[in-house]
Amino acid sequence: MAPTLPTPSSNTITLSLPHPHVLLVTLSRPKALNSISTAGHHDLDAIWTWMDNEPSIRVGILTGSGRAFCAGADLKEWNSTVQTPNQPSQARTMPPTGFGGLSRRSGKKPIICAVNGLCLGGGCEMVLNADMVIASSQAYFGLPEVQRGVVAWAGALPRLGRIVGRQRAMEMALTGRKVPAEEAARWGIVNEVVDDSKKGVVERAVEVAVQIAGNSPDAVLVSREGVKLGWEGVGAEEATGMLIQEWSEKLNQGENIKEGLRAFVEKRKPVWRDSKL
């Protein structure tokens, strides 16, 4: 099924559909290690907004071209801004959804980061707010901002401690050390590490995305919201109450719950409709 809404475009980002319900977003500045400029943040924000509104897309994947996933902010641009009087801080030039439109995003639909190489600074900030992370065995993760006199403003610092614990978060934030993929997996940053000699990281991410896209689109959206409500600091009981209040009747009146239960009774595979939630 082709997208029904006009597709956004960017000079530094490539969009493709490896599956009818999966959007692959590739950062395409390999010579700059896929660092993201101010314009790039807004381009990505527009892409994720389009994905959330496009009925045919159910899962997004973000990856990089070349040897890096994303090395963070465009430091040449940042330096130019810092050296110019009365310019706003970099944190204030980003969209409300943060670095790459992802590091502070709430959104509706899941995003998988397929980390193909270096994942530093803002690249790591995006990963820490992704829904799932598949990493190459050659990938490294780090927050080297302190080595340049800057700070990871875009949401990583409060999230990092929840994911890896206070002491490990302090280690990453205060030393700038790069953490290898296998270690990042043990810490809980990465879901799965892919051996590049056997399978590409994007190929594996597409497999996972297709698995998600094969489930009820409505149930995926609401399940994701339930996890995020609890993870973002709301208590378990409050999150459950909010989820039921906001979503239970909408889900119950939708086409996909009826189709899923009917297919079970009829012993067949369900045919899902694009979500209208």
**Residue 1 resides in a domain:** no
The low-confidence residues of the chain, meaning pLDDT below 50, are: none
pLDDT (0 to 100) of residue 225: 94
Which pLDDT value is given to residue 85?
58
CATH number at residue 116: 3.90.226.10
- Same domain assignment for residues 221 and 260: yes
233 & 259 share domain: yes
Does residue 8 sit within a domain?
A: no
Same domain, 185 and 222: no
Catalytic residue among 54, 77, 145, 192: 145
Residues 23 and 107 in one domain: yes
The per-residue pLDDT for range 167-186, each reduced to its tens digit, is 999 999 999 999 999 999 99
**Whether residue 188 is found in the same domain as residue 255:** no
Q: Does residue 140 sit within a domain?
A: yes
Do 185 and 234 fall within a single domain? no
Domain assignment present for 4: no
Confirm whether 238 is domain-assigned: yes
145 in active site: yes
CA distance 26 to 64: 5
Q: Of 196, 213, 230, which residue sits at a domain end?
A: 213
Number of domains in the chain: 2
Residues 50 and 70 in one domain: yes
**Is residue 43 one of the residues assigned to a domain?**
yes
What residue numbers bound the domain in which 245 lies?
217-265
**What's the pLDDT score for residue 92?**
61
pLDDT in the model for residue 243: 78
Does residue 166 sit in the same domain as residue 221? Answer: no
Please give the pLDDT value at position 78. Answer: 62
pTM above 0.85, yes or no: yes
Q: Give the model's pLDDT for residue 87.
A: 53
Out of 125, 225, 238, 255, pick the active-site residue.
Answer: 125
Residues 17 and 133 in one domain: yes
Q: What is the pLDDT of residue 197?
A: 72
The model's pLDDT over 102-161, given as tens digits with 9 standing for 90+, comes to 999 999 999 999 999 999 999 999 999 999 999 999 999 999 988 887 888 888 988 999
- Rounded to whole angstroms, the Cα distance separating 63 from 114 reads 5
